[in-house]
Amino acid sequence: MELCTFFLFMDNVLRLPLTDSTNEDAYKLALKGAEHGFGVIADSQRAGKGRLGKDWESPAGTGLYCSIIIRPKLSFVDFPKITLTAGLALCRAVENLQVDSSFGLKWPNDLYCNQKKCGGILVESSSVSCLEKDSFVIVGIGLNVNTKLDQFQLELQQKATSLLIISGEFYDLRDLYRRVHGSLLEHIHTHETKGFSCIRKEWSKRDVLFGKEMQWLTAKKTVVTARGLGIDENGQLLAKDRYGKIHAILSGDVHLAI
């Protein structure tokens, strides 16, 4: 990324035709002092990052790839919950498109529709050595927008969807960015001023794992099967196994049991 100050302070956003990862660009800009709400958008990414070290395929013209700098008025311990706040913000932004299908959230922050993934969020925080007043999080958002089914890689065709597949309509990526950006700042403000309980209440209405049998791998590499009970006040996913034991999951990947 070439840092161009002309672009930097126009419209609070840096638009790039191609970059490695908008999350990395936004992180560097945040370290240089870029303000709360500043965003980086790319038409495509060479090395888009997903959660848990996965790649995020980012072909030009089909998806929204953006990262927004958030300087939360929250303490460090509350930062992990921002992931859920961002997921809700993305979900609300697409709901407002008035598409005739309902969207849901798969913990911690995947956007789902018709049992398929339509988007995801990667939140990265400033290092703990950063002074609290300078701390930030980068909210990276990948949304499948104008992707046709055969444009997904073969192994994703059963698991992924896009706004185009859902609604049959093409969307303007700039307009979508404005909607997602506005929604994110609004939900962060709600989180800061009214507390996470407000976010949790709305998030829970969209929880696609609630009441479902699901599985995950523990740190000791054992597979646990349990039924989703929703999220707690810390943003952890709760699940009850067949022995009645309640598990609280703070990170990792969970799947619906098959």
Among residues 26 and 74, whose Cβ is nearest to ligand BTN?
Answer: 26
- The whole-angstrom distance between residue 161's C-alpha and the CA centroid of its chain comes to 15
CA 156 to each of CA 87, 132, 135, 180: distance values in angstroms, whole numbers, following the listed order: 21, 40, 36, 24
Site string for ligand BTN, 41-80 (x = CB under 6 A): ----x--xxxx--x-x--------xxx-------------
Amino acid letter, residue 164: L
Nearer to ligand BTN among residue 31 and residue 246 (C-beta): 31
In the bound complex, what is the minimum distance in angstroms from residue 1's beta carbon to ligand BTN? 12
- In the complex, the smallest distance separating the C-beta of residue 56 from ligand BTN, rounded to whole angstroms, is 4
Q: Applying CB under 6 A, which of residues 23, 62, 85, 126 lies at the interface with ligand BTN?
A: 23
- Run of H or E including 93: helix 82-95
Residue 249 C-beta: closest distance to ligand BTN, Å: 16
Could you tell me which of 234, 237, 232 has the C-alpha nearest to residue 252? 237
The enclosing H or E element of 203 equals: helix 196-205
Considering only residues 39, 104, 108, 120, which one is a binding residue for ligand BTN as defined by CB under 6 A? 120
Residues in the chain: 258
Q: Is the CB of 22 or the CB of 162 nearer to ligand BTN?
A: 22
Kindly state whether residue 22 participates in binding ligand BTN, applying the rule CB under 6 A. yes
Residues that bind ligand BTN (CB under 6 A): 21-23, 45, 48-51, 54, 56, 65-67, 110, 120-122, 140-142
